[in-house]
Chains A and B, each alone.
Chain A
Amino acid sequence: MAANEAAVEMFRIRECHMTITSQPSADGQELTIAISGRFDFNAHQAFRDAYQRQDVSPQRYVVNLQGTTYMDSSALGMLLLLRDHAGGDEADIRLLNCSPDVRKILSVSNFEQLFVIA
């Protein structure tokens, strides 16, 4: 196995209708967490595992919601946990590729005040 293959190894956690993967950037500065399927309470452990990886210490986080079909308020809570983990008010977290439904949920709670939503 090449040296950098370990670094880009993907952690895959499968639950019934949801897959969460996390992948650090080549320089290890950014961690991208991708959520496909339902982002709800069942994703709790998988989401935590995705950002609590011991092998990287990223400065920035990207949550890719491209494949996210559904999101509930406990998912909002999980995003707050990530924010707390990433330094609270100093956290640098971008939420990318939100579908209109997901964006609506984020905007009702005014989460654009806490995260960069694009």
Chain B
Amino acid sequence: MPMRLSILIAEDSPVDRMLLSTIVGKQGHRVLTAADGQEAVALFQQERPQLVLMDALMPVMDGFEAARQIKRLAGDELVPIIFLTSLSENQALVSCLEAGGDDFIAKPYNPIILEAKIQAMHRLRRLQATVLEQRDLIARRNQQLLDEHRAAKAIFDKVAHAGCLSAPNIRYRQSPQALFNGDLLLAAHAPAGQMFVLLGDFTGHGLPAAIGAMPLAETFYGMAAKGYSSTDILREINAKLKQILPVEMFCCATLLDIDAKQGTLRVWNGGLPDGYLISADGRRTALVSRHLPLGVVSAEKLDDKFEHYPVAPGDRLLLLSDGVVESRNADDELFGEQRLLAALEANRDPATVFDEIEQALLDFHGQPHDDLSLVEVVVSRDALPMPPTVSATAHRSRPMDWSIRVELRAESLRNGNPLPSLLQILLQVNQLRSRAGAIYTVLGELYSNALEHGVLGLDSSLKCDAEGFKRYYEQRQQRLQSLVDGHVHLELTIKTDSTGGRLRICIDDSGAGFDVKKALQVQLGTDRFSGRGLHLVRRLSDGFDWQSDGRGLSVEFVWQAEA
């Protein structure tokens, strides 16, 4: 159905103007008329007609100039201009086009052809209007999306940076959009002094990946702060992701559990490219993916076996997302594993390896590349756990006098970790909160001594080199699996009064006992692998004692009441 338009006719000849007005008016359009270019421009400004029929040669201002001005005034909107012309020289027609003309019609005017052109131009107008509308809509939506991303990122950062990503021994490069590329990086100090680092890469991009990252981060930080082991955290994250993610989504991840004090590194890599352990002397060990990504298999099918490596202060851990090796440059070449290995191979000083990889990526891409994550953690004993924040509404404590005694037998020794729950009980005592880290470390040392050397009878001197270290953990695993008898007793006693208080931790086990005095001496040596952590226990606590048969130890923490 033909549309009625408002049409401006600019024509200096009164006869032609009249003729044209009649034709166009008969076709049902609203007609405006002008006798020269200037009048036409003025009328256009005033009435905003939708289409212009323009004579080329007119007094005062010719049609070319009028067309240019009208096009300028119309801006983004398409106002078709059809030149009325008897001009036949090509040069004059070219001038019409250059002035912004969209079509021509020659005299004498054929009403059918004229109406056909008007309707064709009108369709073009509508098309242009639709395109503009959609362009603006897309721009608005895109802006909206970016705003939402910013807000979501701000919320997520509160969760993701709850930990210690800003610790001096961590360096990382991750684009601000990383979350929406499915990458996430988390780091936390555990109460017992380890540092946990998780680099994850969700399949897919955008909001789904970002949403999956939320519960992962919450679980990671929540459990790390409560003193759960890296194995517990891994299992919980896998179970949670399996439960919430759709089948086709999962999270490739590497979890590092770095215990600088003990000189141990535990690594679990499911689906991320090789990470690297680079020792201070430049030796490089690949941290290879041995597992399915997180969120693929159910809890009972998850292989939660970590790999153990000895580490020393100054050793470096390098993790990267597949965005590093899979990034492509402008020529669509893949950065690839070979270039990464070449950069690692060329490195002479481990301290600069992070910069060198960044440089290699920059050289390859010619500009910073966005869709990748790179993180370096230096093994450091200085990175101390932050003391847990003391609740601002802490009540004044009433006097307390209680003890609990826990006996863990084979099945629980194999599968459980009693320490987080015990720590939670102890943290009910306000005065102990500021020392939660030390208490947890001491509990951890005592418990693993009792379990590994007492119940399992493992020989710590095995851990004299990297090979023995591996054997030690294999033996630990085997003996734990086949454990039938054996127990560890833990007793916690709290007594407080108006002057202060005392926590006493007693532990004994079913093992053969050991020579505490000798163990204390051995530890003074330089051998970093074979210690029993007793010096640490003695240093962190306020009292340390042992039974003569070496099967039981007790430790005290003492405090004075606040004034």
Residues of A within 8 A of B (CB): 72-74, 76-78, 80-81, 84, 89, 108-111, 113-114
Q: Is B392 on the interface with A (CB-CB < 8 A)? A: no
Interface pair A109/B248, CB less than 8 Å apart: no
Q: Which of B170-207 contact A (CB under 8 A)?
A: 201, 203-204
Q: Which residues of A contact B273 (CB under 8 A)?
A: 108
Taken together as a complex, chains A and B put the C-alpha atoms of A73 and B291 apart, in Å, by 15
Interface pair A108/B203, CB less than 8 Å apart: no
Q: Which residues of A contact B292 (CB under 8 A)?
A: 109-111, 113-114
Interface pair A84/B247, CB less than 8 Å apart: yes
Tell which of A76, A80, A110 touches B270, judged by Cβ atoms closer than 8 Å. Answer: A110
Interface pair B250/A110, CB less than 8 Å apart: no
Min CB–CB distance A100 → chain B (angstroms): 12
Closest 9 CB pairs of A and B: A77-B248, A109-B271, A73-B203, A84-B247, A81-B248, A110-B292, A77-B203, A108-B289, A80-B247
Interface pair B248/A110, CB less than 8 Å apart: no
Interface pair B271/A110, CB less than 8 Å apart: yes
Interface pair A114/B203, CB less than 8 Å apart: no
Assess A80 versus B204: contact at CB under 8 Å? Given A108-B271, A109-B252, A109-B289.
no
Interface pair A114/B296, CB less than 8 Å apart: yes
Q: Which residues of B contact A81 (CB under 8 A)?
A: 247-248
Interface pair B271/A74, CB less than 8 Å apart: no
Q: Which residues of B contact A84 (CB under 8 A)?
A: 247
Minimal Cβ-Cβ distance residue in B for A77: B248
Q: Which residues of B contact A108 (CB under 8 A)?
A: 252, 271-273, 289, 322
- Besides the contacts A76-B203, A77-B250, A81-B248, what 13 more A-B pairs have beta carbons closer than 8 Å? A77-B203, A77-B248, A81-B247, A84-B247, A108-B252, A108-B271, A108-B272, A109-B270, A109-B292, A110-B291, A113-B292, A114-B292, A114-B296
Taken together as a complex, chains A and B put the C-alpha atoms of A90 and B119 apart, in Å, by 64
How would you classify the secondary structure of chain A's contact residues: helix, strand, loop or mixed? helix
Min CB–CB distance A63 → chain B (angstroms): 15
Taken together as a complex, chains A and B put the C-alpha atoms of A86 and B403 apart, in Å, by 56
Q: Which residues of B contact A113 (CB under 8 A)?
A: 292
Q: Is B249 on the interface with A (CB-CB < 8 A)? A: yes
Q: Which residues of A contact B291 (CB under 8 A)?
A: 110
Q: Is B290 on the interface with A (CB-CB < 8 A)? A: yes
Interface pair B289/A78, CB less than 8 Å apart: no
Q: Is B101 on the interface with A (CB-CB < 8 A)? A: no
Most buried by B among A74, A77, A81: A77
Min CB–CB distance A14 → chain B (angstroms): 22
Q: Which residues of B contact A89 (CB under 8 A)?
A: 301
Minimal Cβ-Cβ distance residue in A for B292: A110
Taken together as a complex, chains A and B put the C-alpha atoms of A44 and B293 apart, in Å, by 20
Taken together as a complex, chains A and B put the C-alpha atoms of A89 and B272 apart, in Å, by 23
Interface pair A74/B289, CB less than 8 Å apart: no
Interface pair B289/A80, CB less than 8 Å apart: no
Q: Which residues of A contact B248 (CB under 8 A)?
A: 74, 77-78, 80-81
Q: List 21 A-B contacts (CB under 8 A).
A: A72-B326, A73-B252, A74-B204, A74-B248, A76-B250, A77-B203, A77-B204, A77-B248, A77-B250, A78-B248, A80-B247, A80-B250, A81-B247, A81-B248, A89-B301, A108-B252, A108-B273, A108-B322, A109-B292, A110-B270, A114-B292
